[in-house]
A and B are shown apart, each in its own frame.
Chain A
Amino acid sequence: AQSVTQLDSQVPVFEEAPVELRCNYSSSVSVYLFWYVQYPNQGLQLLLKYLSGSTLVKGINGFEAEFNKSQTSFHLRKPSVHISDTAEYFCAVTENSGYSTLTFGKGTMLLVSP
């Protein structure tokens, strides 16, 4: 079985500061990893995903994430955040074979203030 841990429930930052949202996963097999964003009163939107190959993946809105197999991590980063990045961010994992479902972390609320 797979699991995801998002270490921070809330991350407050000032506008234009860098941010890192942490995600660790657990699985006995190879995985695909995803980051989703949820703006207030909306559904989830895919930010980026890691399937294979380069461990640094770039997504929408200037976000990127790095897959680290030895540390079983997939942290999300942005070098300079905007007020509009205020949202909840979810990390998710699925096994890369067969009919495996997506398992989500509990989410990290990113709060960007001026």
Chain B
Amino acid sequence: DVKVTQSSRYLVKRTGEKVFLECVQDMDHENMFWYRQDPGLGLRLIYFSYDVKMKEKGDIPEGYSVSREKKERFSLILESASTNQTSMYLCASSLWGDEGLFFGPGTRLTVL
């Protein structure tokens, strides 16, 4: 089975801090994704990557950046955390479009 792990289940940060959310997948998937999930809004795509050192903006990239130095690892960076970035962050990976996505357990981030 594909395993996608995220570095933290819960995280509390202060406004203005730089925040790193790490995601690792163990199935050699080419594609990795970061979504945020908010009540009533569903999942919204922040950034995705189809290859090492490659990144593409999703629907809501403002305030975020990403890094993919190795195939198995995809990091989401909040350069200066703000309270409106309090959310559940979900990482996912996939091999092909028809396989769907494999999700990690999520990181619930609270910015105070």
B40 near A46: Cβ-Cβ < 8 Å: no
C-alpha gap A58/B50 in the complex (Å):
30
CB-contacts of A36-87 with B (<8 A): 36, 41-46, 49, 51
User: Counting CB contacts under 8 A, is A100 at the interface?
Assistant: yes
- The answer on a CB contact under 8 Å between B97 and A104 is no
Q: Is the CB of B104 within 8 A of A90?
A: no
Q: Which chain A positions have C-beta within 8 A of B90?
A: 43-44
Q: How far is the CA of A45 from the CA of B101 in the complex (A)?
A: 9
Chain B neighbourhood of A99, CB < 8 A = 50, 97
| B103 proximal to A (CB < 8 A) | yes
- Expressed in whole angstroms, the Cα–Cα distance for A105 and B40 within the complex equals 10
* Contact of A43 with B33 at beta-carbon distance under 8 Å, contacts A34-B100, A105-B42 already known: no
Judged by a CB distance under 8 angstroms, whether A106 is at the interface is yes
Q: How large is the interface on B (under 10, 10 to 19, 20 to 34, 35 or more residues)?
A: 20 to 34
Which listed residue (B41, B45, B48, B100) contacts A46, Cβ 8 A? B100
Residue contact A43 to B104, C-beta cutoff 8 Å: yes
What is the CA–CA distance of A94 and B33 in the complex, to the nearest angstrom?
14
In the assembled complex, which residues on chain B have CB atoms less than 8 Å from the CB atom of A45?
103
Q: Which of A90, A94, A106 contacts B97 (CB 8 A)?
A: A94
- Chain B nearest CB: distance from A8 CB in Å? 13
User: Chain B contacts of A95 at CB under 8 A?
Assistant: 97
Interface string of B30-54 (1 = CB under 8 A from A): 0001010000111111001010000
Chain B nearest Cβ from A98, distance in angstroms: 8
Nearest-Cβ distance from residue A30 to partner chain B, whole angstroms: 12
Ordered by A's residue number, 9 sampled pairs between the chains whose C-beta atoms are within 8 Å are A6-B42, A9-B40, A43-B4, A43-B105, A46-B100, A46-B101, A102-B100, A103-B45, A105-B42
* B residues in contact (CB < 8 Å) with A: 4, 33, 35, 40-45, 48, 50, 58, 90, 92, 97-98, 100-106
